[in-house]
């Protein structure tokens, strides 16, 4: 779908976080560049934006910011998208990151959080809802039956009319099954709300959910859009195994092998294996439920079960609970 003159959306991806809980992976990889089935998380987001007609994307960077253009410029060129990189400076929350773009944005914008992999096959419905209802914002949501997952994200409370009346960041008691996901579509009026958003005592940040609540209280219509089928936040290093397994299942594949890979003749592969480009496995081994990053060389043999191997690190993850 190509944008017309009256329905032009700009893309924004927040990719500045340090990912301290992801160490040691985050010492060398910004979270949005972590590979899922041999593509960085942020590439899935760029492809989703491209699918709904976005041609220009602003990427807010911080930690390891020099890595972002080095990896993404060729991807943007292949997608026919123009990418800009904006340094957030201090990392003071989502609303603070968005505010850095106020002088650069002239159109409504779709915002992705760069460390969350989302499967949103109906994303175009979110854009259609925004334009048809002349909304102040549209929030991507999904039905979530696990209250703990809502407590980790934000709850979306609806009026009988279908409008959003409240958004609650990380609620202690989840009174709804509607979970907010990391995709937002905003009119430029959100900047007025962000400038009036207080810094929270709990996390000492400017929360985008507080900005959305101010937008609602100002009378702007905010709608939910159930366009996300599943999402996974990459918080800890071993989450890489789980998110790759989820994507393998979505692709209906048991294994994925990149290009220019050498496997010792006595290597066997079980299910759940993702091997990146230019990997060498130089010893007899059985590999299962493991992810080997591009450019890695594996010298050890034996059984590699629930391993994450990068050019510089080797992690062994416990069995899933």
CB 255 within 8 A of CB 287: no
Asked if 271 and 125 sit in the same domain, the reply is no
Look at residue 2 in the predicted model and tell me its pLDDT.
41
Angle 51-132-106 from CA coordinates, rounded to 5°: 65
In a domain, 4, yes or no: no
Is 161 part of a structural domain of the chain? yes
CATH of the domain at 73: 3.90.550.10
Q: Which pLDDT value is given to residue 62? A: 77
Among residues 233, 254, 285, the one where a domain terminates is 233
* Phi, psi at 209, each rounded to 5°: -65, -35
The pLDDT value given to residue 5: 47
**Distances from the Cα of 16 to the Cαs of 91, 92, 174, in angstroms?**
7, 10, 29
DSSP string, 103-143: TT--S-EEEEETTEEEE-TTHHHHHHHHHHHT-SEEEEEEE
CA distances from 43 to 3, 14, 15, 38, 73 (A): 20, 13, 12, 10, 11
Locate tokens 């409008």: which residue?
163
Co-location of 129 and 274 in the same domain: no
Query: Hey, how many other C-beta atoms are within 10 angstroms of the C-beta on 106?
Result: 9
User: Does 283 reside within a domain?
Assistant: yes
Question: Is residue 53 within 8 Å of 1, Cβ to Cβ?
Answer: yes
Same-domain check for residues 185 and 248: no
- Structural domain that includes position 254: 239-316
Residue 23 inside a domain? The answer is yes
* CB contact burial 133-161 (16+ within 10 A = b; e otherwise): eebbbbbbbbebeebeebbebbbbebeee
281 lies in the same domain as 143: no
- Do the Cβ atoms of 312 and 319 come closer than 8 Å? no
Q: Give the pLDDT confidence score for residue 194 in this predicted structure.
A: 94
Both 219 and 266 in one domain: the answer is no
- Please give the tally of structural domains in the chain: 2
Say whether both 18 and 104 belong to one domain. yes
The answer to whether residues 202 and 260 belong to one domain is no
Instruction: Report the SS3 class of residue 207.
Output: coil
Both 154 and 288 in a single domain? no
Which pLDDT score is estimated for 305? Answer: 95
Is 173 inside any structural domain?
yes
**143 in a domain, yes or no?**
yes
**pLDDT value, residue 6:** 66
Q: Is residue 113 part of a domain?
A: yes
Based on the fold, state whether residues 25 and 137 are members of the same structural domain.
yes
The span from the CA of 239 to the CA of 6, in Å, is 41
Asked if residue 44 and residue 148 are part of one domain, the reply reads yes
- Domain boundary among the residues 200, 233, 266 is at 233
Out of 233, 258, 289, a domain closes at: 233
Gap between the Cα atoms of 191 and 102, Å rounded: 7
Please state, in angstroms and rounded to a whole number, the distance separating the CA atoms of residues 280 and 311.
11
Task: Supply the pTM of this predicted model.
Answer: 0.90
Model confidence pLDDT, tens digit, residues 263-284: 999 999 999 999 999 999 999 9
If asked whether residues 71 and 127 sit together in one domain, one would say yes
Together in a domain, 21 and 80:
yes
Compute the distance between CA of residue 320 and CA of residue 124 in angstroms, rounded to an integer.
Answer: 34
How far apart, in whole angstroms, are the C-alpha atoms of residue 166 and residue 146?
20
Residues recorded for the chain: 321
User: Which portions of the chain are predicted below pLDDT 50?
Assistant: 1-5
């Amino acid at each position: 779908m190509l944008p017309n003159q009256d329905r032009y959306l700009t893309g924004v991806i927040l990719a500045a976080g340090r990912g301290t809980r992801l160490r040691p992976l985050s010492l060398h990889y910004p979270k949005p560049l972590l590979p899922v089935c041999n593509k960085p998380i942020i590439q899935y987001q760029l492809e989703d934006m491209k699918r709904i007609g976005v041609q220009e994307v602003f990427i807010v960077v911080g930690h390891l910011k020099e890595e972002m253009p080095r990896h993404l410029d060729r991807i943007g060129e292949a997608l026919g998208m123009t990418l800009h990189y904006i340094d957030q400076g201090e990392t003071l929350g989502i609303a603070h990151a968005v505010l850095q773009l106020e002088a650069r944005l002239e159109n409504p914008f779709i915002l992705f959080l760069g460390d969350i992999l989302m499967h949103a096959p109906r994303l175009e419905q979110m854009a259609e809802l925004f334009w048809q209802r002349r909304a102040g914002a549209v929030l991507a949501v999904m039905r979530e039956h696990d209250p703990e997952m809502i407590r980790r994200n934000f709850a979306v409370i609806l009026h009988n009319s279908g409008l959003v009346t409240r958004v609650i960041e990380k609620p202690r008691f989840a009174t709804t099954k509607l979970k907010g996901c990391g995709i937002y579509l905003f009119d430029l009026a959100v900047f007025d709300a962000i400038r009036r958003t207080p810094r929270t005592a709990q996390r000492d940040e400017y929360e985008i959910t507080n900005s959305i609540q101010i937008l609602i209280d100002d009378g702007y219509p905010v709608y939910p859009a159930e366009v996300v089928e599943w999402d996974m936040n990459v918080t800890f290093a071993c989450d890489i195994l789980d998110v790759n397994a989820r994507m393998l299942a979505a692709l209906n594949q048991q294994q994925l092998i990149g290009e220019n890979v050498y496997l010792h003749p006595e290597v066997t592969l079980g299910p759940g294996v993702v091997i990146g480009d230019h990997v060498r496995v130089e010893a007899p081994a059985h590999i299962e439920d493991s992810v080997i990053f591009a450019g890695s060389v594996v010298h050890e043999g034996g059984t590699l079960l629930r391993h994450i191997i990068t050019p510089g690190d080797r992690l062994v993850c416990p069995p899933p609970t």
